[in-house]
Structure 1
Amino acid sequence: MKKKYAINGLFLTQKITGIQRFAYEITKGLDQLSDKNEVVLVVPDEAEIKVQFKNISVVKYGSLKGILWEQVNYPGFLRKNNCLALCMTNVLPLFYRKGIIVIHDVSYKANPHFFTGLRNRISAFWHCVNYHAGLHSKMKILTVSNFSKTEIQKYYKIEAERIHVVYPAWQHMSNVHPSATLYERYPQLKEKNYYFSMASLAPNKNIKWIMQAAKQHPDQLFVIAGGGKFNEKKPSNTLFLGYISDEDAKTLMANCKAFIFPTYYEGFGMPPLEAAACGAPQIIVSDTPCMREVYGEYASYVNPYNPENWIVEECKNENLNELLEKYSWKATAEVIKRVMEETGQNGIAL
């Protein structure tokens, strides 16, 4: 490796969702694969970082926060220390485009109708500008599925050979202990008496499908976890838990009738994989190209636009262990490490 890499560590200051999970697990993997001083992780001065790594040092730099830190302080560190960027959460510094960027999906470009309201439209505009800048620079591009690779090619006219696919995985759930108190806190829940879904309440996650399914099956209980607000009237047989811990998630996944993920659009869609790893007997996902790629023959499929044809039945997906064998954080970190080593002095592929 000709130059030191500096990871954009802002994800360590954010709530863990799929993107932050990816960045954290890959950082852990690179820590095992790197020598000392090959890679550093840069965070804002005021960040409270509790994790420690063996070979990757955590460096505090810059007093700004959020997007301003990413666009001013982080590239300032890169220039000062002559480093290459490793940005694993969709965003890169616009005026320092040397290194590697991971783009998880291009929903902002593909689905502008999902982003309503001034704040969401500003966010969509910002991400589209950022994607365009990164994708039309000479940075190495990584993404999390062949579907997402195809979407990047479609919307940004990028050559296929510039894009590497690096799948997320599930092994982080192996280190999580089930909650000992969840059923005490939610006495209406009992093992195997509920369907479970975990996702943000963003429009692409299609929580409305679950609401409609709940109305059609009033004798069934539907439990939803994830950040965000659902402002519409909820059927009485639904339970919204909000953002939950990994321990609660593992317990709910292990003891549900099935895990439901009726998403409209994903780059990968990690929660059903986590559910399979935790012992969910069945994973029910939307019949979309991305879900077909990721889950293949190991999932049950539903029409994300019409829950009326979904029949409640207790069944078990066969050979979920075979599904789990397809995905590994270690293998993905090894691919990313090879990409890093192939990158030249200026962050350009050799």
Structure 2
Amino acid sequence: MKVGIDARMLGYSGIGRYTENLIREILQIDKKNQYVAFTQKGRGRFMNYDLGFKKFINPKSKISNLKIVEVDAPIYSFKEQYNFLKTVVKEKLDVMHFTHFNRPIFYNRPSIITIHDLTPIYFPGKKRSSFVEQFAYRLVLKSALKKANRIIAVSNFTKKDILKNFSFLDEGKIAVIYEGIARFAEDPKQFVNHKSKFLNLKPYLLYVGVWREHKNLLGLIRAYEKLKQNSNSIQYWRKCRENEFKKIASLKLEDLKNLKLVIVGKPDPYYPEVPEAAEKSPFKKDIILTGYVSDEELFLLYQNAAAFVFPSFYEGFGLPPLEAMSYGVPVVSSNAASLPEILGDAALYFDSKNTEEMADKIAQALFDGDLRKILVEKGKKQVLKYSWQKMAQETLKVYNKITKKI
């Protein structure tokens, strides 16, 4: 069997991490079939890990059952409807896995698409908000859903969301395959001696992710300000848990004035509201926008966080809070979309539209020692449900089922 995988988004956001881990893990478990990874032109060195050897995979890779093909077809461009189509057809694949919705409309061979979420339907954003761009998104997505032999949804929530918006689909066509957590979380010792400019930030709240409207970063900044401004929000915890604070909590009440908010993610020029809100905040010196960070720096930021906050209005899965749990960090999350499904009872939830509630839940996670301990213990158990290897195994089963039906 010859399988193609769309790897053009490697290095970009969660879809890139999903694709990277899919390729790495499936090559570990499957030595029989042949794989072709299609990368964007000039991005042949695309993976942070080469099957554990910590080298970049490139077009000259010696992995016997992997071929890498570079193509000039940027994501969401017209070129992917022609250049990418022509390149994929040329490989004469038994099955092609498009790891995002953007499957070329005129591709007529067996294929699979992964749908991570339907964010553009609910939050079009500024970059592609015009009528024409929204029409194109709907056209490509609808075509992909119709023509794909199988659809992979990364959560039950996403599966239900697809069926709600595209009622013509047969529910049996959609397979739910959960994602895993980042590989570097499995081997923390490799980063112990890494030096970082972020080591002296403690204590801090942490957010990791892109700067988009649905991520609710403005709400997070407002909740942080309320937490710092309104000491009454933690009076209950001062009264009830004073003894436990000293034993368990990583943050003492008197240190609240030093609490920082660290927002990790590549700056997005389409969302200047985030740096503007940070600059206008009365606590602007304590709001840190890190920009892009390396895996080593991200490991240290996770490991030393007092709590992780995920305030999203909408998520198809949600990798960052799981990564935080894997480091023993208590997670405070919105109760929106897929998050309760993915995080289970291992997170402290709030209404994403209620900044008062967000601030209060953050205070609980910081200062209630018993609760912190429970969240950390439950978090470590919750992450065991998610494995990139398991994801790759289940995806390989989908490949095999499709080729057997042809």
TM-score bracket, shorter-length normalisation: 0.7 to 0.9
1:244 has 2:293 as partner = yes
| Aligned partner letter, 2:191 | P
1:323 has 2:382 as partner = yes
Range that drifts further, 130-139 or 151-160: 130-139
1:274-314 CA-to-partner distances (Å, cap 9, x unmatched) read: 1111231x011101241110011111111110121232132
What is the CA distance between 1:126 and its match in structure 2?
3.2
Total equivalences in the alignment: 335
What is the CA distance between 1:162 and its match in structure 2?
0.6
Provide the rounded CA distance (Å) in 2 between the counterparts of 1:7 and 1:16.
16
Greater helix share, structure number = 2
Name the structure 2 match of 1:17.
13
Q: 1:138 to 1:171 in 2, by over 3 A?
A: closer
Name the structure 2 match of 1:233.
277
Local SS of the residue matching 1:224: strand
Provide the rounded CA distance (Å) in 2 between the counterparts of 1:144 and 1:53.
31
Structure 2: gaps of 5 or more residues: 46-55, 229-256, 367-371
Q: 1:93 to 1:250 in 2, by over 3 A?
A: same
Structure 1: gaps of 5 or more residues: none
Name the structure 1 match of 2:96.
85
Provide the rounded CA distance (Å) in 1 between the counterparts of 2:302 and 2:40.
35
Name the structure 2 match of 1:43.
39
Q: 1:320 to 1:187 in 2, by over 3 A?
A: closer
Name the structure 1 match of 2:219.
209
1:155 has 2:161 as partner = no
Name the structure 2 match of 1:133.
143
Q: 1:129 to 1:239 in 2, by over 3 A?
A: same
Equivalent pair of 1:26/1:329 in contact (CA under 8 Å) = yes
Q: Which of these residues, 307, 310, 332, is aligned with residue 284 of structure 1? A: 332
Local SS of the residue matching 1:136: helix
Q: 1:125 to 1:231 in 2, by over 3 A?
A: farther
Provide the rounded CA distance (Å) in 2 between the counterparts of 1:104 and 1:53.
31
Name the structure 2 match of 1:96.
107
Provide the rounded CA distance (Å) in 2 between the counterparts of 1:224 and 1:134.
34
What is the CA distance between 1:171 and its match in structure 2?
4.6
Provide the rounded CA distance (Å) in 2 between the counterparts of 1:194 and 1:265.
24
Equivalent pair of 2:112/2:152 in contact (CA under 8 Å) = yes
After TM superposition, the score normalised by the length of structure 2 is: 0.76
1:344 has 2:388 as partner = no
Local SS of the residue matching 1:5: strand
| Aligned partner letter, 1:294 | I
Provide the rounded CA distance (Å) in 2 between the counterparts of 1:243 and 1:330.
27
Provide the rounded CA distance (Å) in 2 between the counterparts of 1:31 and 1:187.
36
Equivalent pair of 2:198/2:301 in contact (CA under 8 Å) = no
Provide the rounded CA distance (Å) in 2 between the counterparts of 1:334 and 1:344.
16
Provide the rounded CA distance (Å) in 1 between the counterparts of 2:316 and 2:67.
29
Q: Which of these residues, 309, 320, 333, is aligned with residue 271 of structure 1? A: 320
| Aligned partner letter, 1:102 | T
1:54 has 2:54 as partner = no
Task: Pick the structure with greater CA Rg.
Answer: 2
Q: 1:55 to 1:128 in 2, by over 3 A?
A: farther
Local SS of the residue matching 1:153: helix
Provide the rounded CA distance (Å) in 1 between the counterparts of 2:277 and 2:7.
39
What is the CA distance between 1:135 and its match in structure 2?
0.8
Q: 1:327 to 1:62 in 2, by over 3 A?
A: closer
Equivalent pair of 2:37/2:67 in contact (CA under 8 Å) = yes
Name the structure 1 match of 2:253.
none
Name the structure 2 match of 1:27.
23
After TM superposition, the score normalised by the length of structure 1 is: 0.88
